């Protein structure tokens, strides 16, 4: 589900991988996977991975290929 501004503002800070900046929402598994993909290769990658892993232990890293995404 795509978040609009009103929905994003309603998400509690704890449901963001970077709560202070309210970046990378991880309010559900789809957004957690998206956060992993968007943070991949950036300096904040480890923080995002740790936060996603803590909330969704089954999602350890972003899939590397389109086929892996389809199998989730």
Cβ-contact 17, 52 below 8 angstroms: yes
- Provide the residue range defining the domain that includes 60: 5-70
What digits encode the pLDDT tens for the residues 45-70? Answer: 999 999 999 999 988 665 565 555 55
d(CA 72, CA 8): 24
pLDDT at 25: 97
Round to whole Å and give the CA distance between 61 and 59.
Answer: 6
Helix (H, G, I), strand (E, B) or coil at 18: strand
Question: What is d(CA 71, CA 41) in angstroms, rounded to the nearest whole number?
Answer: 23
Quote the CA–CA distance of 12 and 26 in Å, as a whole number: 10
Q: Record the pTM.
A: 0.79
When divided into structural domains, the chain yields a total of: 1
Residue 64 confidence (pLDDT): 60
């Amino acid at each position: 589900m795509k978040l609009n501004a009103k929905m994003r503002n309603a998400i509690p800070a704890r449901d963001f991988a970077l709560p202070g900046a309210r970046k990378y929402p991880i309010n559900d598994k789809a957004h957690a996977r998206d956060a992993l993909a968007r943070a991949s290769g950036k300096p904040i990658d480890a923080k995002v991975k740790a936060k996603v892993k803590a909330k969704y232990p089954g999602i350890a890293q972003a899939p590397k290929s389109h086929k892996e995404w389809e199998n989730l």
